[in-house]
Chains A and B, each alone.
Chain A
Amino acid sequence: MIPKLYQMFMILDLFPLLSAIFAALSCGLLGNFLVLRKQSLMGDAISHAVLPGLVGAFLITQSRSPGIMFIGAAISALLTVVLVEVIKRLGKVEPGAAMGVVFSVLFALGVYMLESASARSVDLDADCVLHGNLQTLFWISSPTEWNHFLSANTADEIPRQVWTLLGTTIAVIAFISVFFKELRIASFDAGISTVQGINAGFMHMALMTFVAIAAVASFEAVGSILVIAMLICPAATARMLTDRLGSQILVSAIVALITAIGGYILAAIFEVNAAGMMASFAGVLLVIAIIGSPAHGIIAKARNQRRLGNQVALEDILGSLYRLAETNQSASQEELITALGHTKRTTKALLKAQYDKLIVIMDTHIALTDAGLARGASIIRRHRLWEGYLVDQAGLSPDHVHETAEQLEHLSELPDPNLPDEQTNPTTDPHGKPIPPESS
């Protein structure tokens, strides 16, 4: 006996949820290559432009059989791809405008046909084109016993949308796994791909065909707006989180899954449109990734920048103290802060240096510890080596190199290590000051 709660879930939610998951997966996986190729909007164009194909197929055959609708939509999807190329090449129209012209005219044609046709049949609805009809996928005769799942009838009762989407998802996964290498090369560099004997144009058409198939298959269940969201958002989210294409595809699949399930649950809780909620949720996930991605997020970038700034401030303090120590001078805390600029960052770096036992702050002056002296020496070494390099190799005049070296000294690299030894290891800088030896 299946408990009542599960029973309700299966009647109302199982098929919509499965459709949403499969649609999200197939579109989300393909989206990786669209985002990579900067052709995200081709998915947008295709999913708008399938409308006249769907309506046309219905008007001609007067049937809503899935095969015929599918063929109609696929024809207009491919027509879109071809027309965009033709207008771009023959008409020399800017790609964005070419896409805009094609999909808006085709969509207008679809709306026109739809409105003209709906006088005769109320079967087709323009709104459902946008946000699908997930809610209508009931499982009215859902099984009451667990073992009913195994009976032959169950397979027949699953709506064809779910089967179509399952088939599409499998086909998309197969396409990407078989042609992963080809897709990757053709997407990154069409030139290299041609050299390696992979026809980039063919791969482009194959990818577009699959995008069209996925869009058409998802269309009826989840609507065009979710198709567009799923083609772009999961891939973009994964792009924020990873650097390698393989892991990006994996992450995008997980994001697509979370989007479908999370969006569906939220829609159920707030009793709002499921496709719209999934698209919004995809946006929320993306915003989280853009802000919080460990490697490329806004927070991580700001933190790196702050850390770098603190390090520069610390190194400037140690460098100045080392210079003073060279000529047996010293400075008090106030003098040093005045010299380096009275900022919060300098004060903080001073405290940090004291805490790390690099300096000792005394009443009359600041003294470097042994560790501080060594760090200071290595910074001044880098500064003066760069000065020498800029004069000898870049041909700058000695009195112009200090400012540049002041920045370069904070790099971890030294000037070109391929130079002859007397040039990599000079003992004095262009101003005649000694270069501290490399610390062991």
Chain B
Amino acid sequence: MNALPVNLNEILETLTLRGGFNTNAVILGTTLLGIAAGVIGSFALLRKRSLTADALSHATLPGIAGAFLISTSLGYAGRSMPVLMLGAALTGALGVACIHLILHHSRLKEDAAIGIVLSVFFGLGIVLLSVVQTSSSGSGAGLNHYIFGQTAAMTRSDAVLMGTIGVLGSFIALIMLKEFTVVCFNETFARSMGLPVWLIDSIMLGLVVLITVSGLQAVGIILIVAMVIIPPAAARFWTDRLWKLVLISALIGGLSGYAGASISALLPRKPAGAVIVLVAGLIFAISMLFAPARGVLADSSRRIRLKLLIARDHVLESLYEIEIGTPDARHPRASSLLIKFIAARGWITTTNSTLALTDSGRVQGQRIHRNHQLWEQYLVSYADIAPTHVDWSVDQVEHVLTDELIAELEHALSQRGIFIENGIERTTKQGGTP
């Protein structure tokens, strides 16, 4: 096995922020940026703005190259971070404005508007970059690092600026939490409350611009959007509550930033932007598969469990119907595994390969049979007032009836003089006795 190019001590020092002042500043700055991106990205996700953010980040390229060209032509040193960031923010915001204009003044849809702004602005940026490369020797050569990002080229003050903007962005988002929440979940309601939706929306997008622009140098134009998209998308698997979403998303963003910047500081030729995104992607994959709230595994196990319960109920119901001699009762068809599963609960016995209900099984079968009849009767008597429910098939609904719903059904049916007891229907019209 190849030895790592660094020893264990060095790894520990870097990870615990003892690796040297410059490295520390970059790692800390990237972590703070990741946290801010996670927080602000949560709202972008809920507002379905993920790909608007993508167009925005691509649209910063002509701003960077343009700012460089203008400031060098005015005789200043071109690669001053704040100047480039200002240019990037301007064209980024202009890109978002263009998406808005295309949406409102043409028949083109949002996807096309985003793609147009993304490709045209980026193309313009590449044109300007080629102008930079031919016109100025040397000083402009580093500009294309903004496309893929390069933490190695960052100075301490760059990192401090990035971290400060990260903290500032998160702070603004937390102050505006209530307004953002309302606009994200119910725009109409926000309007009716007299909230300036347009302004709140603009602040939200402004924060995305801020994060994008400050992360350009470390992560790069193409991948910075991943820091806004992936953490909230991953966090969404863990929770349904907004404040938890923001919190988890911030954690994932911070972790990705921290891991990406440290790994790229430790190993040569590992671009920080790519590593950050890969770490975030890994967390996303784990969340999607294993998160208990909305993860794929939890989801499918819940579905399988429900299917099993329904199959079990059908067996018990059929056996009960055979016992009481319902005319169209049929012998249940069930796999031997299912039979064993039910027998393990002590609800059926299998002697000489014939199935029989135990006492406790009979209670269960009776309950399911009764639910079935309740619902069936309800549909027959109340079909006109239950139009939203009639397409629920009886066989499916009987398994999901809750106790409250059953009580409600019984009440509704008794109003029409129908009583179902122990699975045998009787109406008051027939004298009240079965």
A93–B54 alpha-carbon span in the complex (Å): 17
CA of A226 to CA of B237 in the docked complex: distance in angstroms?
A: 35
Which of chain A's residues has its CB closest to B267's CB? Answer: A116
Q: Do the beta carbons of B278 and A271 come within 8 Å of each other? A: no
- Evaluate whether A236 and B112 lie within 8 angstroms (CB atoms) in the complex, with A97-B233, A111-B148, A298-B105 already known: yes
Q: How far is the CA of A126 from the CA of B269 in the complex (A)?
A: 13
**Which chain A residue lies CB-closest to B271?**
A115
Contact, CB under 8 Å: B122 / A100: no
Cβ-neighbour of B123 out of A44, A48, A283, A298 (below 8 A):
A283
A100 with B226: CB separation less than 8 A: yes
> CB-CB < 8 A to A112: which residues of B?
270-271, 274-275, 278
Q: Which residues on B sit within 8 Å (CB–CB) of A351?
A: none
Q: How far is the CA of A41 from the CA of B106 in the complex (A)?
A: 18
- Complex Cα spacing A224 to B51, Å: 17
- State whether the Cβ of B120 lies closer than 8 Å to any Cβ in chain A: yes
Contact partner of B278 (CB less than 8 A), chosen from A96, A99, A108, is A108
The residues of B that contact A104 with a CB separation of less than 8 Å are 222-223, 225-226, 229-230, 277, 281
With A100-B226, A279-B120 in contact, do A272 and B147 touch (Cβ < 8 Å)? no
Question: A97-B50, A97-B233 known; A38 and B119 CB under 8 Å?
Answer: no
**Cross-interface CB contact of A116 among B54, B107, B144, B270, cutoff 8 Å:** B270
Contacts of B69 in A (CB 8 A): none
Interface residues on B, range: 35 or more
B54 touches A100 (CB 8 A): yes
Q: Does B13 contact A (CB under 8 A)?
A: no
| Contact of A100 with B119 in the complex, beta carbons under 8 Å | no
Question: Which chain A positions have C-beta within 8 A of B131?
Answer: 270, 272
Interchain CA distance A97-B269 in the complex, whole Å: 29
Of the candidates B105, B114, B123, B144, which one forms a contact with A290 in the assembled complex, judged by CB atoms under 8 Å apart?
B105
Query: Total contacts A to B, CB within 8 angstroms?
Result: 204
Q: Which residues on A sit within 8 Å (CB–CB) of B280?
A: 105
List, in ascending order, chain B residues with CB within 8 A of A10's CB.
Answer: none
**Least distance between A246 CB and chain B CB atoms (Å):** 18
Q: Pick the contact of A276: B54, B130, B288 (CB < 8 A).
A: B130
Is B125 interfacial (CB 8 A cutoff)? yes
Contact of A39 (CB < 8 Å), options: B107, B111, B124: B111
Which residues of chain B are within 8 angstroms of A91 by Cβ–Cβ distance? 237, 288, 294, 296
* CB contact between A94 and one of B45, B111, B268 (< 8 Å): that residue: B45
Interface pair B296/A90, CB less than 8 Å apart:
yes
Enumerate chain A residues within 8 angstroms of B122, measured Cβ to Cβ: 225, 276, 279
* B33 contacts partner chain A, Cβ-Cβ < 8 Å: no
Residue A282 interfacial (CB < 8 Å):
yes
Q: Mark B283-302, 1 if CB is under 8 A from A, else 0.
A: 01000100000101001000
Binary flags per residue of A361-386, CB closer than 8 Å to B gives 1, else 0: 00000000000000000000000000
- Chain B residues in 8 Å Cβ range of A94: 45, 48, 50
Whole-angstrom distance between the Cβ of A331 and the nearest chain B Cβ:
40
Instruction: Kindly provide the distance from the CB of B149 to the nearest chain A CB, expressed in whole angstroms.
Output: 9
B144 and A127: CB pair below 8 A?
A: yes
Of chain A, the residue at the smallest CB distance from B277 is A108
What 0/1 pattern do residues 124 to 146 of B give for CB contact below 8 A with A?
Answer: 11110111001000000000100
Q: Mark B25-47, 1 if CB is under 8 A from A, else 0.
A: 00000000000000000000100
Q: Is the CB of B273 within 8 A of A111?
A: yes
Pairwise interchain contact B148-A276, C-beta atoms closer than 8 A: no
Q: Does B206 contact A (CB under 8 A)?
A: no
Contact A97 B115 (CB under 8 A): no
Interface residues on A, range: 35 or more
Nearest residue in B to A42 (C-beta to C-beta)?
A: B111
Chain B binding site: helix, strand, loop or mixed by DSSP?
A: helix
Partner pick for A44 among B50, B115, B233, CB 8 A cutoff:
B115
Main secondary structure of the interface of A (DSSP, over half): helix
Q: In the bound complex, how far is the Cα of B268 from the Cα of A119, in angstroms?
A: 10
- With CB as the reference atom, state the residue of chain B lying closest to A296: B107
Residues 1-57 of A at the B interface (beta carbon under 8 Å): 35, 38-41, 43-44, 48
Contact B115 A231 (CB under 8 A): yes
Q: For the complex, is A107 an interface residue (Cβ under 8 Å from B)?
A: yes
Q: How far is the CB of A128 from chain B (nearest CB, A)?
A: 11
Contact indicator B229/A280 (Cβ below 8 Å): no
**Partner pick for A108 among B111, B126, B226, CB 8 A cutoff:** B226
Separation in Å of the A41 CB from the closest CB of chain B?
Answer: 5
B239 to chain A, nearest CB (A): 14
Q: How far is the CB of B118 from chain A (nearest CB, A)?
A: 7
- The answer, yes or no, to whether A349 is at the interface (CB within 8 Å) is no
Q: Indicate with 1 or 0, residue by residue over A253-290, a CB within 8 angstroms of chain B CB atoms.
A: 00000000000000100111101111110110010001
The interface centre, meaning the residue of A87, A108, A116 with most chain B CB atoms within 10 A of its CB, is: A108
Q: A229 at the A/B interface (Cβ < 8 Å)?
A: yes
Q: State A286–B119 Cα separation when bound (angstroms).
A: 12
Q: Which of B130, B222, B278, B284 contacts A273 (CB 8 A)?
A: B130
A43: chain B residues within 8 A (beta carbon)? 115
Q: Which of B129, B232, B237, B277: most chain A CB closer than 10 A? A: B277
Does A101 have its Cβ within 8 Å of any Cβ on chain B? yes
Q: Across the interface, which residues of B come within 8 angstroms of A96, CB to CB?
A: 48-51
A111 touches B123 (CB 8 A): no
A276:B230 contact, CB within 8 angstroms: no
Residues of A within 8 A of B236 (CB): 93
A226 close to B274 (CB less than 8 A) = no
In whole angstroms, how far apart are the Cα atoms of A99 and B112 in the complex?
15
A310 to B277, CA, bound (A): 58
* Bound-state Cα–Cα, A109 to B233, Å: 19
What string of 1s and 0s marks CB contacts (under 8 Å) between B306-340 and chain A?
00000000000000000000000000000000000
Q: Assuming A111-B274, A126-B148, is B126 touching A40 (CB within 8 A)? A: no
CA distance A150 to B19 in the complex (A): 67
A277 CB contacts on chain B under 8 angstroms = 123, 127
Q: How far is the CA of A145 from the CA of B268 in the complex (A)?
A: 53
Contact A225 B269 (CB under 8 A): no
Cβ A276 vs Cβ B114 within 8 A: no
Q: Is the CB of B120 within 8 A of A283?
A: yes
**1/0 contact trace for B81-94 toward A, CB 8 Å?**
00000000000000
List A76-106 residues whose CB lies under 8 Å from chain B. 87, 90-94, 96-101, 104-105
Q: Does A239 lie within 8 Å of B130, measured CB to CB? A: no
| Set A38, A97, A229, A235: member contacting B229, Cβ < 8 A | A97
CB-CB nearest in chain A for B120: A283
The reply to whether the CB of B116 lies closer than 8 angstroms to some CB of chain A is yes
Q: Could you tell me if B126 and A273 are in contact, using CB atoms closer than 8 angstroms?
A: yes
Given contacts A43-B115, A97-B50, A232-B115, contact A280 B45 (CB under 8 A): no
Q: List 11 A-B contacts (CB under 8 A).
A: A35-B111, A40-B112, A101-B229, A119-B269, A229-B123, A231-B115, A232-B119, A276-B127, A279-B126, A283-B123, A286-B116
Q: Which 8 A-B pairs have the closest CB atoms?
A: A279-B123, A283-B120, A276-B126, A104-B226, A105-B281, A108-B277, A229-B119, A273-B130
- 13 additional contacts, CB 8 Å, given A96-B50, A280-B127? A38-B110, A48-B222, A91-B237, A94-B48, A108-B277, A109-B278, A111-B274, A112-B274, A116-B269, A239-B107, A277-B127, A279-B124, A282-B119
Interface residues of A (CB under 8 A from B): 35, 38-41, 43-44, 48, 87, 90-94, 96-101, 104-105, 107-109, 111-112, 115-116, 118-119, 126-127, 130-131, 225-226, 228-229, 231-233, 235-236, 239-240, 267, 270-273, 275-280, 282-283, 286, 290, 296, 298
